[in-house]
Structure 1
Amino acid sequence: MLEMSVQSGQLAAILMMAFALGLDAFSLGIGVGMRGIRLRHVLNIGLLTALFHMLMPLLGLLAGHYVGALLGKVTGLAAGGLLVLLGGHMIVNSFQKEEGRPVNHTTLLGMLMFSIGVSIDSFSVGVSLGMFAHDAVLIITSFGAVGGLLSICGLMIGRKAGSRLGNYGEMAGGAILLLFGLMFIF
C-alpha cells in the first residue's frame, strides 16, 4: 500500500514537471497560432515537439545519472539548484519582449526551431531527474505526451483567439519548476 502511494506521488510529480515544461510550448504556440497556421502544420509541430520533449530529457537523464554517480550525497542539492535556476530563468524570460524578424513556422526549419526551442528546458530537468529517478520510460513518455498536447492546444487557441496568455504560461511553468527545485533542496 505504501509503495503504491509513493509511486502515485512520483507520477504526480513527473506529470506536474511535464506540464510545467509543456507550458512553454503552449505559450509560444499561442503566439504562433495568432499569426495564422494550418491544421496540418499544427499537427506537425505538435509531433516534433513531442519527439524533442522525449529526446531532450532522455539525453538529460543519461547525463544526470552520470553526474549523480559523481556527486553522491549532494545529488539532491544539485538537482534542486538546477531546477531553481531553470525556473527562475523561465520567469525572467516571461518579462522580456522578443525582438527581431518572425520565423516562418510552416517550414521544416521553422518547425524544428520551435520544437527544439521549447524542448531545450527538458534537458536540464532530465539532468536533475537523472540524478535520482529510475523510471526513465515514464518520464520520457510523460514529457513527450504532455509537451506535444500542450503545443497543439496553444497553437489551436492561438488560431481561434488572440490573447496575452503567452507570458503567463511561461511564468507559471517557471514557478512550478522553481517550487520543485526548492522542495528538492529543503
Structure 2
Amino acid sequence: MNPISLFFLAMAMSTDAFAAAIGKGSSLHKPRFSEALRTGLIFGVIEAITPVVGWGIGQAAVRYVENWDHWIAFGLLLALGLHMIYNGLKHEDEAEEKASQHSFLILAVTAFATSIDAMAVGVGLAFVDVNILVAAAAIGMATCVMVTVGVMLGRVLGAVVGKRAEIAGGVVLMLVGAAILYEHLTAV
C-alpha cells in the first residue's frame, strides 16, 4: 500500500471516532484541552490495536483466499464505507442523554464501538502488502489527533458536522478499497 493510500485509510478510519468526539465534546461544558487529549489518546490506542487484531485473523485465512485477496479487501472497505454513509445519513429520532463527565469506561466502550470497522479493515489489510504496525500507528495517531480536535470543536459545531464527517469517511474508505483493487489489477 502506498503512503497516500495509507494516509487516506488512516484519516477514513478516524472519521467515525471524530464524529463521536464531536458528540462527546458537545456534551461537556467548555471542554478543556486536557480532557480532549485524554479522550484522543484513549480512542487512538484502541483504534491502533483493533486493525492489528483483524490483521492477525486475516493472516490465518490468507493462504485460503490468496487469489481473491484484493477483491476481499475491496468488498470489506466498500461495505464499511457504505455502512458509514448510511449511519451518516440516518436521522436520530431519540434524544441522547448528556453526560456530566466522561469516565474512562464510557470513553473506552465508545472508542471500541467506533473501532470495530478498523478490525475489519485489518482483516482486509492481511490480504495486501502492508506493514500492519505502520498502518496501525498511522490509524492510531490520526484518530488521536482527530478525536482531540473533535472534542474541542464539539461544543461549537455539534452533531451536524459529525454526520458529514462520517459520510466523508465512508466515501474515503470506498476510494481506498477501489485504489487497492486498481493497484492489484494493473500490476497483473
User: Do the aligned residues in 1 keep the contact of 2:27 with 2:155 (CA within 8 Å)?
Assistant: yes
In the alignment, structure 1 residue 102 sits paired with structure 2 residue 109: no
In the superposition, the TM-score normalised over structure 1's length comes to 0.87
C-alpha deviation, 1:162, in angstroms: 3.7
C-alpha deviation, 1:45, in angstroms: 1.3
1:156 paired residue number: 152
Identity %: 28
In the alignment, structure 1 residue 113 sits paired with structure 2 residue 117: no
Matching residue's letter, 1:26? F
C-alpha deviation, 1:100, in angstroms: 5.6
**Correspondences of 1:119-134 after superposition (within 5 Å):** 119-134=115-130
Distance 1:92 1:41, change over 3 A: same
Report the Cα distance in structure 2 between the residues aligned to 1:119 and 1:32, rounded to whole angstroms: 16
Distance 1:180 1:93, change over 3 A: same
In the superposition, the TM-score normalised over structure 2's length comes to 0.86
Report the Cα distance in structure 2 between the residues aligned to 1:22 and 1:146, rounded to whole angstroms: 6
Instruction: Tell me how many residue pairs correspond in the alignment.
Output: 178
2:143 paired residue number: 147
User: Do the aligned residues in 2 keep the contact of 1:25 with 1:147 (CA within 8 Å)?
Assistant: yes
C-alpha deviation, 1:54, in angstroms: 0.9
> Which among 26, 40, 51 is matched to residue 34 of structure 1?
26
> Which among 13, 19, 23 is matched to residue 15 of structure 2?
23
Report the Cα distance in structure 1 between the residues aligned to 2:151 and 2:137, rounded to whole angstroms: 21
3-state SS of paired residue (1:30)? helix
Report the Cα distance in structure 2 between the residues aligned to 1:142 and 1:22, rounded to whole angstroms: 10
User: Do the aligned residues in 1 keep the contact of 2:21 with 2:147 (CA within 8 Å)?
Assistant: yes
Report the Cα distance in structure 2 between the residues aligned to 1:138 and 1:23, rounded to whole angstroms: 19
Report the Cα distance in structure 1 between the residues aligned to 2:123 and 2:18, rounded to whole angstroms: 23
C-alpha deviation, 1:61, in angstroms: 1.1
> Which among 131, 142, 154 is matched to residue 135 of structure 1?
131
In the alignment, structure 1 residue 172 sits paired with structure 2 residue 168: yes
Which stretches in structure 1 are left out of the alignment for 5+ residues?
1-8
Which stretches in structure 2 are left out of the alignment for 5+ residues?
183-188
C-alpha deviation, 1:184, in angstroms: 3.3
Report the Cα distance in structure 2 between the residues aligned to 1:74 and 1:129, rounded to whole angstroms: 13
User: Do the aligned residues in 2 keep the contact of 1:94 with 1:167 (CA within 8 Å)?
Assistant: yes
C-alpha deviation, 1:101, in angstroms: 4.2
Q: Which moved more, 1:81-90 or 1:174-183?
A: 174-183
User: Do the aligned residues in 2 keep the contact of 1:65 with 1:132 (CA within 8 Å)?
Assistant: no
